[in-house]
Structure 1
């Protein structure tokens, strides 16, 4: 039986995922599911450094004005440029260095 973080690593080695897609793929439930996935991604990022792998981050982007956020493990709630809440979530993928 694999842990949740091991399952996330396996998924991210295959292709890129948004936090929402990971929640669905892992069949997580509850209000804090996205927050749990984001915390797991932060821990996974630290672990990967020791294994010679890297967590690639495609940054979140505002769907209204196109503003691109910093590449980080976070889901912004509002665009600082136009104040829109229509935000495309960041995407994550694991690759070997």
Structure 2
């Protein structure tokens, strides 16, 4: 049986996912599921360095004005430019480091 983090790694090696999509794929429900996924991604990022892999981050983006956030493991709640809450979540993928 795979742990939740092992399942996340497996999914991210196959394709790119947002935190919400990961939570859905892992059948996680509830308010704290995104927070748990983000904590798992931070831990996974540290372990990947030892394995010669890297966690790629496509940054979050405001759907209203197009503002691109820093590529980090978090889901912003509001755009600093236009104050919109219509935010496209960041996407994550695991690749082998060259």
Measured against the shorter chain, the TM-score band is: over 0.9
1:40 paired to 2:52? no
Unpaired stretches in structure 1, ≥5 consecutive residues: none
Give 1:10-29 correspondences, 5 Å limit. Answer: 10-29=10-29
Q: Secondary structure at 2:11's aligned position in 1? A: helix
Q: Aligned-residue CA RMSD in angstroms? A: 0.3
Count of equivalent residues: 97
Partner of 1:76: 76
Q: Secondary structure at 2:6's aligned position in 1? A: helix
TM-score normalised by the chain length of structure 1: 0.99
Q: Structure 1 segments of 4 or more deviating over 3 A?
A: none
Bigger mean CA offset, 28-37 vs 45-54: 28-37
Q: Give the Å deviation of 1:29.
A: 1.7
1:64 paired to 2:64? yes
TM-score normalised by the chain length of structure 2: 0.98
Between the aligned partners of 2:59 and 2:7, the Cα distance in structure 1 is 22
